């Protein structure tokens, strides 16, 4: 997602393919403790992903998952959702 590069989304700094705990996440904004995962169909109802998300949440992270199709077809709303969650997360800390 090019929108997450170079502070292109609401000036949030995202890093790509970052190890956290024993996992590698697609994108993370350390400042907001916000993880963005971009998933294909192989992740539908995936028990491993659910357990992984719970472990990351225990570490204090917010985990957002988006389908590849959502990003292709509705990128604007995906970006708006990421911004909204990042702003809510900062108000709760």
For 56-90, how does the pLDDT look when each residue is reduced to its tens digit (9 = 90+)? Answer: 999 999 999 998 899 999 999 999 999 999 998 65
User: What's the domain count of the chain?
Assistant: 1
- 91 pLDDT more than 70: no
* Strand-strand pairing, 15-20 and 23-29: antiparallel
* Average pLDDT, integer, range 41-62: 85
Q: What does the alpha-carbon distance between residue 41 and residue 9 come to, in Å, rounded to a whole number?
A: 26
Tell me what pLDDT residue 43 has.
56
3-class state of residue 43 by DSSP? helix
Domain range enclosing 53: 2-91
Q: What is the pLDDT of residue 83?
A: 96
pLDDT tens digits for range 16-29: 999 998 999 999 99
Q: Are 86 and 10 in contact (CB under 8 A)?
A: yes
* CATH number of 39's domain: 3.40.960.10
């Amino acid at each position: 997602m090019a929108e997450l590069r170079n502070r292109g989304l609401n000036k949030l700094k995202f890093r790509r393919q970052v190890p956290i705990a024993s996992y590698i996440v697609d994108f993370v904004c350390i400042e907001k403790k916000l993880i963005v995962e971009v998933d294909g169909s192989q992740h539908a109802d995936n028990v491993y992903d659910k357990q992984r998300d719970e472990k990351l949440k225990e570490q204090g992270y917010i985990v957002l998952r988006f389908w590849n199709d959502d990003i292709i077809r509705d990128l604007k709303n995906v970006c708006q959702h990421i911004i909204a969650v990042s702003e809510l997360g900062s108000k709760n800390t």
